[in-house]
Each structure stands twice: as structure tokens, then as C-alpha cells.
Structure 1
Amino acid sequence: MPPPPPPYGSGYGGGYGGTDPLSGMPPLAESGRRILARVIDWLIVAVPLAIIGIPFDIYERATRDGNDFGDTVNSLNGGSQLVFQLITIVAYVAYDTVMTAKNGQTLGKKLMKLRVAMLNDGSTPPMSQSLLRAVVLWLPALICCACLWPLLLLILILVDKPYKQGLHDKAAKTVVVTAQ
């Protein structure tokens, strides 16, 4: 007979009356520093992608006269912009995943003296959790919701109590803390 499941409220989040998972960890990151770190990371990936995008004609739509939905679909069906979209997704997700799994810090977080930590013990997220966090962070923004997704994440980080988690943090069970 298997052992009974743990009581409600144990593990992730601590529950009412449970131990605080953040005890012994550095303080949670300030929202302003966290936002600035994300902007730095976005630029670190976006600038090389902008240069790489020139041969893929990603700027063609902006310079064409006929800029309607049919032109966009036909252009994407041409292949080069679709390939570039896939390169963009891979670049953002890979950057965030590898850097976070390495030491909990992207370059932006390192500059802002922040790091990503597992909520349950403060350790550096393993590759699987780093990948999950990066996919939830970047995929919706890069596929369909470039303006709304980052805004939703920002609002959730600002209002989430007590851990200041965005959906990407909740999915991976991580928090962003100050680095020592």
C-alpha cells in the first residue's frame, strides 16, 4: 500500500501555517530592477536577431505599400519569415534556459544583481525547470501576444503575494531574489 499523500498546503507555497519557503533565502527582487534586467536581456537577444533578420527579409512588410493580412500570410508562406520566427523563438528560449540553468542568472539579472531560485530550496533551477520557465515567458509573446503577454506578466509580478511571481515563475516554481 503506497504512503498517503502529503497534507494540503505542504511543499510549494508552504500553505497556511506551513514553513515559509523563503526563509534563509535572500530578499525577493525589487520589481524595477527585475523589469530593467528583462529589458537588458531582451536587447541582448533582439539586436543580433535584427541584424540576422536582414537576409530573411523581415523588414520587407514595413516597406511595402500593400500591407494587409493577405500579404502577410503570403509572405509567411514564402518561408523566410517563418524560418526567422522559429529562429527568434529558439534564440529567446535557449538564451533564457541555458543562462538560468547555469547559475540562475541571465546577463540582465547578473547586471542587476538578481538571480532565479527554486521556491522550495533556493537552488539554481535545473534545465527542465529553466526550460519550462523560458517557454512560458517567451513563447506566447513571440507567437501571438507581443504586447499583451509581457503586460500580463508584469501585472502579475506586481500584484502577486507573497512571492512576486509571474506565470513563468509559477509554472517553474521559481522566484527571483537578490544575488549575494
Structure 2
Amino acid sequence: MTQPPGYGPPHPIRPPAPQYQPPAPHYGPYPPPPVYYYWPGPPPPPVSPAGVPLADFWMRLVAYIIDVVLLSVAIFVLSIPGIVVVFRRIDDVALYSDTDPTPVFTHFFVPFLLLELGIIILGMIVYYLYDVEFMHRTGQTIGKKAMKIRVVPLDPALTLTRGMAFRRYLVQYVCGSVVPFFNYLDGLWQLWDKPYQQTLHDKAAQTVVVKVSA
């Protein structure tokens, strides 16, 4: 193609300016999700079938110690007249035991054995009155009340009866007084008993010990 005369050299045809286009999106690989570590919290406290938290071992142990101290003092005070009589017998034996050995047995050993038997019987009576007649009304002895715990039936629909309290008494005190080392086994049983942390006397009476506010 030729230019007409008087025009300069031909100019190249300029292509149209390109329209602006946003850059194509470019995404890298997704980062890995964060890792969360969940530390397990403390297990929920064990509860009775009624949903009330159970008394732990130390609360029950302190309550038991309080009750034993109170009952031991009461039994000792009630035993003082018998102790006085026996010690008077000992003085009488010391006066003439060198000439006649017979009174040593009749005036010392027999009264002493009778005193021991009387203290055992007295202790059973005092424990019965305290642990059965006193406790079955509210489910609490003085020691349990001080530690804010209470004996309740395992079945929430029942109430604590004298029969339940009496079965607890038979296993805890009577068997504990007759069977060697039974008291230790009975008291420690709650440490491995699941799920209600019952002692052997709890199992005999179908009871549990729970925490209360008062």
C-alpha cells in the first residue's frame, strides 16, 4: 500500500489498548487446622441413688473417732462404781494373801473378770442406745452431725428405720467386738466399694452415708 504524495512514511497500526483485568486468584495450600489439647478435669463426685454427694472416707473416719471418744468417756464414767469395788477387793487381798492364797482368786480375779464382763455389756447397751435409738430418728450421731454427714437408705423411696440402724449396729459393733480385725476390714471396705462407697455395715443395712448442709 502506497501513501499519497506529501505524507510521511507510513505508521504502523497501533493495536487497541488492552482492557484491565484483575489478576487471577491464586491460593496456596490450606494451613493445617490448629491442634487443641483437652486435659481431662476431675471426675464428678460419687453420688447416692438419690443424687446426693457421698461422704468421703476422712469425713466418716473423723465422725467415728468423735463418737468413740464420747462413748468411751460415758462408759468409763458409768463403770466407776464397779472399778472402785474391784480396787477395794484388791486392797483386802493384799492384807491377808500371805496366809491364805484362796482369797486371791475369790476376791480379785473373779470380781475383775466380772468387771470386764460388765463393762462389755454396758458398752453394748450404751452403743445400742446411742447408735440405734438416737441415730435412727435423724440419721446422725453427734460425730456425724459435727462432720455434716448423714446415714440414709440406699433406696431413696425408703426412710431410715430402727431395723436398718440395728443391723448397722450388729455388724459394726457386735461383730467388731467379737471378730479380730473386723473393725479394720469393715471401715476400709468403703475405699474400694463401688459405686456407693459402702462399708460392710452399710451393706448389711442397705444404707449409704451422704453429705448434708447441717
**Aligned partners of 1:93, 1:122: CA distance in 2, in Å?**
26
Partner in structure 1 of residue 174 of structure 2: 139
1:49, CA displacement in angstroms?
0.9
1:170, CA displacement in angstroms?
0.3
Q: Mark the runs of 5 or more structure 1 residues left unpaired by the alignment.
A: 1-20, 65-69
* TM-score normalised by L of structure 2: 0.61
**Quick one: higher RCO (CA 8 Å, sep 6+), 1 or 2?**
1
Please tell me the root mean square deviation across aligned C-alpha atoms, in Å: 2.9
Partner in structure 2 of residue 176 of structure 1: 209
Helix, strand or coil at the partner of 1:53: helix
1:151-162 superposed matches below 5 A: 151-162=184-195
Helix, strand or coil at the partner of 1:27: coil
Helix, strand or coil at the partner of 2:152: strand
When residues 33 and 179 of structure 1 are mapped into structure 2, their CA distance, relative to the original with a 3 A threshold, is same
* TM-score normalised by L of structure 1: 0.72
Helix, strand or coil at the partner of 2:140: coil
1:29, CA displacement in angstroms?
0.3
Q: Mark the runs of 5 or more structure 2 residues left unpaired by the alignment.
A: 1-46, 91-104
Task: Indicate if the aligned counterparts of 2:49 and 2:155 stay in contact, CA closer than 8 A.
Answer: no
Task: Indicate if the aligned counterparts of 2:134 and 2:141 stay in contact, CA closer than 8 A.
Answer: yes
1:105-144 superposed matches below 5 A: 105-121=140-156, 123-144=158-179
Partner in structure 2 of residue 10 of structure 1: none
Aligned residues: 150
The superposition leaves residues 124-174 of structure 1 with CA deviations (integer Å, 9 ceiling, x where unpaired) of 4101111111111111223453xx122111220111111111111000000
Runs of 4+ in structure 1 deviating by more than 3 angstroms, as ranges, are 74-78
Partner in structure 1 of residue 51 of structure 2: 25
Helix, strand or coil at the partner of 1:29: coil
Name which of 59, 70, 73 aligns with 1:44: 70
**Aligned partners of 1:81, 1:23: CA distance in 2, in Å?**
43
Task: Indicate if the aligned counterparts of 2:153 and 2:160 stay in contact, CA closer than 8 A.
Answer: yes
